[in-house]
Amino acid sequence: MCQYGKSGTSGRRRGYRRDRVCPSPVGNPDTRREALTKQRFVSRRAQTKCNLSIRGKLWLTALCLLIPSLQSWGVLGEDAALVAADGARINASSRLIQRESYTIHELRSPSGITVREYANASGRVFAVAWKGPFLPDMKQLLGTHFEEFQKAAQAQNRRGGHGPLVIQQPGLIVELGGHMRSFVGRAYLPDEMPAEVRSGEIR
Partner 1 sequence: MKPLQFHPKGLCAVVLLALPALSVGCGGSSSKQNGTAPLASSGGNVQPIVVNAGPAGNYANGVFTSVTLCVPSSSSCQTISGILVDTGSYGLRILSSAGGGALTLSLPQQTASNGNPMGECALFVSGFTWGSVNTADVIIAGEQAGNVPVQVIDPTFAAVPSACKNTGVPENDTLQTLGANGILGVGPFAEDCGGACTQSGTSNPGMYYTCASTSCQITAEPLARQVQNPVVLFPNDNNGVIIQLPAVSGPAPSLAGSMVFGIGTQPNNTLGKAEVFPVNSSGEFNTTFKGQSYPAFVDSGSNAFFFLDSDITGIPACGSNGGFYCPTTTQKLSAITSSGNPSQTITFSIANADSLFANRGDFVFDTLGGPNAGTFDWGLPFFFGRNVFTAIESRNTPAGAGPFWAY
What's 132's DSSP letter?
Answer: E
- In the chain the first and final C-alpha atoms are separated, in Å, by 27
Q: How far is the CB of 67 from partner 1 (least distance, A)?
A: 16
What's 202's DSSP letter?
Answer: -
Does 170 participate in binding partner 1 (rule CB under 8 A)? no
Residue 190 and residue 192: Cα distance in Å, rounded? 5
Does 182 participate in binding partner 1 (rule CB under 8 A)? yes
Does 146 participate in binding partner 1 (rule CB under 8 A)? yes
Does 80 participate in binding partner 1 (rule CB under 8 A)? no
Does 108 participate in binding partner 1 (rule CB under 8 A)? no
What's 171's DSSP letter?
Answer: T
Binding test (CB under 8 A) with partner 1, winner from 138, 172, 193, 197: 138
Does 83 participate in binding partner 1 (rule CB under 8 A)? no
Spatial CB neighbours of 98, under 8 Å, sequence gap ≥ 6 = 16, 104
Residue 4 and residue 10: Cα distance in Å, rounded? 11
Identity of the residue, 5 or 118, whose beta carbon is nearer to partner 1 in the bound complex: 118
Binding site for partner 1 (CB under 8 A): 90-91, 109-113, 133-135, 137-140, 142, 146, 149-150, 153-154, 156-166, 168, 175-186, 199-200, 203
